[in-house]
């Protein structure tokens, strides 16, 4: 989550200094610079039951991508068996 927030955060932000959040990693701690730099794609999340705030949708999606890539990177690369 921290890596995903850092990707969307503004490195020159005076509030979070590029971290994307301040203090503990809570939903209310997200910095304004993340919301400003996060793309809006409301149509792709219209069918989901939970209604996450705008910036959290993209951050959670990116965190899932980072996590999946890390899992795949740990798998052995010998598929020929």
DSSP state of 18: T
Q: How many residues does the chain have?
A: 81
Q: What is the mean pLDDT of residues 26-31?
A: 80
Q: Is the pTM of this model over 0.95?
A: no
Q: Which residues fall within 8 angstroms of residue 20, CB to CB, at 6 or more apart?
A: 2, 4, 5, 6, 8, 9, 30, 31, 33, 34, 59
Domain spans, the chain: 2-40+51-74
The pLDDT tens digits of the residues spanning 33-70 come to: 998 888 876 555 554 555 666 788 888 899 999 999 88
Highest mean pLDDT among 24-28, 57-61, 73-77: 57-61
Question: 30 — phi, psi (to 5°)?
Answer: -65, 135
Percent of the chain predicted with pLDDT > 70: 75
Whole-number pLDDT of residue 48: 54
Quote the CA–CA distance of 77 and 79 in Å, as a whole number. 6
């Amino acid at each position: 989550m921290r890596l995903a927030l850092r990707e969307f955060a503004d490195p020159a932000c005076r509030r979070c200094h590029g971290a994307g959040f301040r203090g503990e990693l809570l939903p209310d701690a997200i910095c304004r610079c993340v919301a400003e730099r996060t793309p809006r794609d409301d149509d792709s999340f219209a069918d989901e039951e939970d209604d996450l705030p705008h910036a959290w949708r993209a951050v959670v999606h990116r965190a899932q991508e980072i996590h999946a890539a890390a899992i795949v990177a740990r798998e052995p690369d010998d598929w020929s068996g």
